[in-house]
Amino acid sequence: MARPTTIGDASPVIEPAVAPTTKRNPAAPALKWGDDRVGLGKISRFALRKVFPDHWSFLLGEIALYSFIILLLTGVFLTIWFKPSMAEIEYDGTYQLLKGIPVSEAFASTLHISFDVRGGLLVRQIHHWAALLFVAAAFVHMLRVFFTGAYRKPREVNWLVGIGLMALSTIAGFAGYSLPDDLLSGTGLRFADGLIRSIPIIGTWAEFFVFGGEFPGELIIARLYMVHILLVPGLLLGLVSLHLALVVYHKHTQFPGAGRTENNVVGYPVFPVYAAKAGGFFFVVFGFSVLLGGLVQINPVWLYGPYDPAKVTAGSQPDWYMGWLEGAVRIMPGWETHVLGTTWSWNVFLPGVGLMGLLFTLLGLWPFVERWLTGDTREHHLLQRPRNAPTRTAFGVAGMVCFALFLIAGGNDIVATRFGLSLNAITVALRVLVFLGPVIAFIVTKRICLGLQRKDRERVLHGSETGIIQRSPGGGYSEPHLPIHENEKFLLTQHVQRQPLEVSPDTDENGVRISQEVSSTRARLSRWYLGHDVPKPTAAEIAEADHHGEDGHELEGQAEHQALEDRQPEPAND
């Protein structure tokens, strides 16, 4: 029989006659230690039960995050063998075609990684492809946030963090692209040198400061190396952490639908569903990057040769995220101003430095400009369908068209040689299209959005088309409609339509002049931004349409009616 024992003044505890069979968790002491000191259990329960909505477009941000992780892993591998030095040596490596050629240590170490380090070329190419994928995913993710209005209150700060991430990712990509010190990357550095020198007044001083003397100097590769592996990755890690923390704090946005409101999140918890899906998707992205690195050649520096300031690679093109700036510089007319013995190169400064500054300034100000135009100060956790914000969507498409035209201009020589066209004619045409194309895209996109709004209104009031043509006894033909599901009606009518702002009085009831909250200019701009939306059906109109549908012609036969219901499409988001 078990012998009772006591511990201090505690009540008797009966020792079990048979030892428990439950196996003790070896990590329990460590977990208890952490829980006692930092509340690990509470933090874990909150993190593991955090709910995230499920939509394919949310994978864009995950692709950017996973690509960044791949960049960190492969970058550590490459750092072991790369030598960031511009000291000139005679190449004596495996690649026979360059034997005896004077090259920099940076270029020689790149060849050594590619030909002599086991798996080096594969890792190099994975790293380069992952960099392109990272910037592309971040770019498209920002477009998704823009078109769906996910940057609205209270997420303006997170939008600014995203802009910082986008800017830093391009800097990191350009710095890494320049490190091999081959003829192609050196041409890109020469382009950057031109942008720096074009800055009025301080351009020459800034060039000497960055390059440590006249271009190309002897320090730029070492400096870019520190920027690429230390400064920018550290900033990126900090901003990514802040970005994810704000996502958790504000709750994840979600697309509208049945059961989804501004006050809840409908989705899956982190553990076990989301963790399993996210983990699997990470390996999908990693595997795709490995396939690209192993099967698709990128940046074969041995074909370009070492950098020589006196040479330029024929048909040289930068990575896509820098190509639009080069295109802007290529099609800019040769505008220069001579002031007090100095030359101000507007043909380089405006399309290069000025255009890049303008882009990030407009992106940063947009949430606040839109709030000023709409007067909307509420919190938003439901996303907008792009069609329900036609002016914003039109602006986004116009910007994409402008970006694409600049990108084409960055390869105008390639376009001319591939299609047998005149280079000058292409340049002149792009100078016109870069102004005309975005305007046309804006008008067409806005008309499409308004047309889709009318289609949604008709679908709510009259139902879905059946595709069946009936003939009446009088000889007329008609197509019966089926009422749509209540969930789809909710999806098509749940959005709030903001009314344009009205001019507020500039005097009080006593005739004393006061500060005008809404000026006439602000009211006009608000009418232009919001005044063309198609009114969504009211509750009375929907009720009347439902009543009319009940009294109208009905399809004959229950089986036929059920078959048509089965064909009814599910509601879809833009």
Residue among 121, 141, 117 at smallest CA distance from 129: 121
* Distance from chain centroid for Cα 364: 14
Considering the domain boundaries, does residue 185 fall inside one? yes
CATH number assigned to the domain comprising residue 91? 1.20.810.10
Burial class (CB in 10 A: 0-12, 13-18, 19+), 250: middle
Query: Distance between terminal CA atoms of the chain?
Result: 72
Q: How much is the CA Rg of the chain, to the nearest whole Å?
A: 31
| Tens place of pLDDT per residue across the chain (574 aa) | 444 444 444 444 444 444 455 566 676 777 677 667 677 667 667 667 788 888 889 999 999 999 999 999 999 999 999 999 999 999 999 999 999 999 999 999 999 999 999 999 999 999 999 999 999 999 999 999 999 999 999 999 999 999 999 999 999 999 999 999 999 999 999 999 999 999 988 888 999 999 988 888 889 999 999 999 999 999 999 999 999 999 988 888 999 888 888 888 888 888 888 888 888 999 999 999 999 999 999 999 999 999 988 888 777 888 888 899 999 999 999 888 888 778 888 999 999 899 999 999 999 999 999 999 999 999 999 999 999 999 999 999 999 999 999 999 999 999 999 999 999 999 999 999 999 999 999 999 999 999 999 999 999 988 888 888 888 888 888 888 888 888 888 888 888 888 899 988 877 777 777 777 888 899 999 999 998 899 988 888 888 887 776 555 444 444 344 444 554 444 444 4
What pLDDT is stored for residue 40 in this prediction?
67
Secondary structure of residue 375 in the 3-state scheme = coil
What pLDDT is stored for residue 23 in this prediction?
62
Helices (H), 310-354: 320-331, 346-348
pLDDT tens per residue across span 487-545: 888 888 888 888 899 988 877 777 777 777 888 899 999 999 998 899 988 888 888 88
Residue among 481, 435, 62, 493 at smallest CA distance from 274: 62
Beta pairing partners, 477? 471
Helices (H), 88-231: 105-115, 120-148, 156-178, 183-197, 203-211, 220-226
* Contact criterion met (CB below 8 Å) for 344 and 200: yes
Burial class (CB in 10 A: 0-12, 13-18, 19+), 479: exposed
Considering the domain boundaries, does residue 9 fall inside one? no
Considering the domain boundaries, does residue 374 fall inside one? yes
Helix (H) or strand (E) holding 4: strand 4-5
Secondary structure of residue 83 in the 3-state scheme = coil
What whole-number distance in Å separates Cα of residue 90 and Cα of residue 105?
9
What whole-number distance in Å separates Cα of residue 538 and Cα of residue 557?
32
* pTM score: 0.86
Residue 346 belongs to domain spanning: 48-384
Range 91-97, long-range pairs (CB < 8 A, 24+ positions):
95/302, 97/302
Considering the domain boundaries, does residue 462 fall inside one? no
Considering the domain boundaries, does residue 255 fall inside one? yes
Sign of CA dihedral 434, 435, 436, 442: positive
Residue 429's identity, in one-letter code, is A
Secondary structure of residue 497 in the 3-state scheme = coil
Considering the domain boundaries, does residue 565 fall inside one? no
Q: What's the structural domain count of the chain? A: 1
pLDDT tens per residue across span 463-491: 888 888 888 888 888 888 888 888 888 88
Strand ranges (E), 289-406: 336-339, 342-345
Residue among 242, 231, 243 at smallest CA distance from 172: 231
Count helices and strands in the chain by DSSP H and E runs: 22, 12
What pLDDT is stored for residue 278 in this prediction?
87
- Write the CA distances from 60 to 99, 140, 470, integer angstroms: 44, 7, 46
Structure tokens at 163: 């802009």
Considering the domain boundaries, does residue 221 fall inside one? yes
Secondary structure of residue 200 in the 3-state scheme = coil
Sign of CA dihedral 297, 303, 306, 309: negative
* Contact criterion met (CB below 8 Å) for 218 and 228: no
